A and B are shown apart, each in its own frame.
Chain A
Amino acid sequence: MISIKNISKKYGGDTVVDSVSLDVRNGIIFGFMGQNGSGKTTTMKMIVGITRPTSGTIEIDGALLGDMSVHEKIGYMPEAPYFYDRLTGLEFLRFSGELFRAGKKSDAKYDELLKKVGLHDARDKAIQMYSKGMKQRLGFAQALVNDPKYVFLDEPLDGLDPIGRREIKEMIKSLKASGTTVFFNSHILYDTEELCDEIGIIDKGALLYCGPVKEFCANGRLEEKFIALVEKNTTE
């Protein structure tokens, strides 16, 4: 379980995330939604340990973040990922795998992952030759290299063509089917509604809603409800 208690993040005098608390149950797909600049990415960066919260705590499986054992269980794909361009896709996956303490993985494992994301044919090409969509897929593959229990994806469907989006969505669903908890950031509401069991809505750093997507959409579409909630927050 992911348990976030009162996390805040301040940069200088600006509060980017303001006392956010939420719990994410194991084995579900959780969509974290918000407009650009609402604090989604900063929240995710705090959860995966890239940046430290100014206050509050984050626990994954009962262990506080900062404990390296927590990082063994998570996979993370940043938004619009940049890579080491002179490496090939296979070399980058190998490098990602070597950063975990668990035993050395075989190339067959990496090949399998590359097949899964549709990059097997391009595995020996330098990443600088990859298209944006291919980089997005590689980012997804490296997030799965340690068979994580928790996967965090920041805008995973951005930059993908319709077929690529469908494939990634299928992969997210198959992760859930295998018991993995998926936490993803998105501002694409259609995909969120289709994929998620639960959602969190953040605006101006404050959490406005957290709960089942069906409950939130009880009397309408997610998009309408989301806009109404954010506009209400803006006028208040």
Chain B
Amino acid sequence: MKIIFAIAKNTFREAVRDKILYAILGFAALFILSSLFVGQLSRGDIVPVKSFGLAGIYIFGLVASIFLGSSIIYKEIERRTLYFVLAKPVSRANVILGKFFGLLAAVALTTIFMAIIYEGVIFYQRGGFDYGAILAVLFQIMEESLFIALLIFLSSIIPPLTSTICAVIILFVGHLTPSALAEAKLVGGISHKFISLLYYVLPNLEKFDIRNFVVHNSPIPGSVGIIAFCYALLYTILLLYCAILLFNRREL
């Protein structure tokens, strides 16, 4: 654990000193703050403000994950920084896990920072905080955990650009398959089989989207949280396990 913690701390430190992260945070802050204008345009209706703000947190959280995570292992191999690490009493599994926790900490911190700006905007608009948004951000961090594990898995086998493209496609499909499956059930045939395959193989990221509930102040069933947590945990463990297996076979 000590070694995983040391690698995680180092990864976190490297990530939070990356200028790209500050650029992303700057844009995110501008985007979330611009929801103040949305508030004016909607003549005091808070729903568009919440919707715009939470969407901003989500999009920029994913952008940060992709920029920091798509080359995280590949870069270490290409630049040979791993040579220092692996000659020490460190296993390749330690490297994968340390990188995962360090990157998750950096992305979660970025998300929390954006959430604070969002709460500031909401407080300014209606004089109170949006407590439901805290829950939405927690769900988002669960999704980010799964997504970072996916990026680490991809980064350990393919170059950054390919890894980014694959991750974005999986993200898109992962949000689309639940509704696509419902439609395909009505159509049946090969389309149904194909979409079912995608649904069961790729991560179902819709499980982490409770933003609509939060925006409209609808009650969120307790089971949704438990299912999302268990799903994120199991999927993340599976992806990290596969990443370790592949990384162990990789020639350096």
A residues at B contact (CB < 8 Å): 11, 45, 48-51, 68-69, 71-72, 74-76, 78, 81-84, 86-87, 91, 95-96, 98-101, 139, 142, 146, 152
Contact = CB atoms under 8 A, between A and B. Distances in A.
Contact of B84 (A81, A98, A146, A152): A81
Contacts of A146: 88
Nearest to B250: A51
Given A86-B18, A96-B88, A99-B88, A51 B81 contact: no
A74 B87 contact: yes
Contacts of A11: 251
B84 A96 contact: yes
Interface string B43-54: 000000000000
Q: DSSP majority for the B interface? A: helix
B5 to A, nearest CB: 8
Given A45-B252, A99-B90, 13 more contacts: A11-B251, A50-B86, A51-B252, A72-B89, A74-B87, A78-B87, A83-B84, A86-B18, A98-B9, A99-B7, A101-B2, A101-B89, A142-B84
B193 interface: no
Nearest to B79: A82
B92 to A, nearest CB: 10
B89 A98 contact: no
Given A95-B6, A101-B2, A86 B89 contact: no
Contact of B81 (A48, A71, A83): A83
A136 B10 CA distance: 21
A116 B84 CA distance: 20
Q: How large is the interface on B (under 10, 10 to 19, 20 to 34, 35 or more residues)?
A: 20 to 34
A131 B82 CA distance: 21
Contact of B251 (A51, A74, A91): A51
Contact of A50 (B10, B89, B91, B252): B252
A49 B17 contact: no
Given A11-B251, A50-B252, A100-B89, A78 B13 contact: no
A49 B86 CA distance: 7
A71 B14 contact: no
Contact of A95 (B10, B17, B86): B10
Interface string B1-45: 011001101100110011000000000000000000000000000
21 contacts: A45-B252, A49-B86, A50-B82, A50-B86, A50-B87, A51-B251, A68-B89, A71-B89, A74-B87, A78-B83, A78-B84, A78-B87, A81-B84, A82-B80, A83-B81, A83-B84, A84-B10, A86-B13, A87-B10, A98-B2, A98-B3
Contacts of A100: 88-89
B238 interface: no
A236 B89 CA distance: 42
B87 A76 contact: yes
